[in-house]
Amino acid sequence: MASPKMFMIIAIVAVSVPSILATEHLVGDATGWKPGFDYGAWANGKEFHVGDTLVFKYRAGAHNVLRVNGTGFQECKAADDTVPLSSGNDVISLSTPGKKWYICGFAQQCESGNQKLAITVLAQLRSPSTSPSPSPTGTSPSGATGSTVSRYYGLIVAIVGMVML
């Protein structure tokens, strides 16, 4: 029989699962968003999922972030009505699947091959079963995937604990 406590648990899980499984991607890691960094290599091998966020960090006024389409990415041109992100700590929510392109609109950085990022956002939710290299014993997850996995199991343990209270 459904109890008020059960509804509360379901509500808490429904609200917290997407945020717990979402990942914040700091573009360029410690380097941030600046010339002389290979953003193609940075994105290579990373998984971007709907619900994740991209964070562009740079000195405000020195760079910016323009969202462009594939043509704009090749030609380093944004549409006339594109509003640049310019705070120096720009957070972009990846809310739809598909290819996304970002360039810097300052001083020919894009034209010289710098400061351009192309990613593909995957539609499905992040899941521990997509772990690229499961260990044979299943006991030693490592790296970013491992932290997602352990957070996921932490959530499961928390839910089971709440149900059994």
Rounded Cα distance between 52 and 40, Å, is 18
From 59-67, 72-80, 138-146, 150-158, span contacting ligand NAG (CB under 6 A): 72-80
Copy the structure tokens of residue 135.
């260990």
Rounded Cα distance between 153 and 65, Å, is 36
71 near ligand NAG, rule: CB under 6 A = yes
DSSP conformational letter for 64 = -
Question: Read out DSSP for 62-115?
Answer: TB-BEEE-HHHHHHT---TTPPPB-SSEEEEE--S-EEEEEE--STTTTTTT-S
| Selected binder of ligand NAG within 10, 79, 144, 157 (CB under 6 A) | 79
Q: How many residues bind ligand NAG, per CB under 6 A?
A: 6
| Selected binder of ligand NAG within 49, 65, 72, 100 (CB under 6 A) | 72
Site string for ligand NAG, 22-61 (x = CB under 6 A): ----------------------------------------
Q: Is 26 exposed, middle or buried (0-12, 13-18, 19+ CB in 10 A)?
A: middle
State the amino acid at position 14 in one-letter form. Answer: A
105 near ligand NAG, rule: CB under 6 A = no
74 near ligand NAG, rule: CB under 6 A = no
DSSP conformational letter for 131 = -
From 14-22, 35-43, 46-54, 75-83, span contacting ligand NAG (CB under 6 A): 75-83
Give the residue with the Cβ less far from ligand NAG, 69 or 135.
69
**Three-state SS at 7:** helix
From 28-36, 68-76, 93-101, 144-152, span contacting ligand NAG (CB under 6 A): 68-76
Residues lying near ligand NAG in the complex (CB under 6 A) are found at: 69, 71-72, 77-79
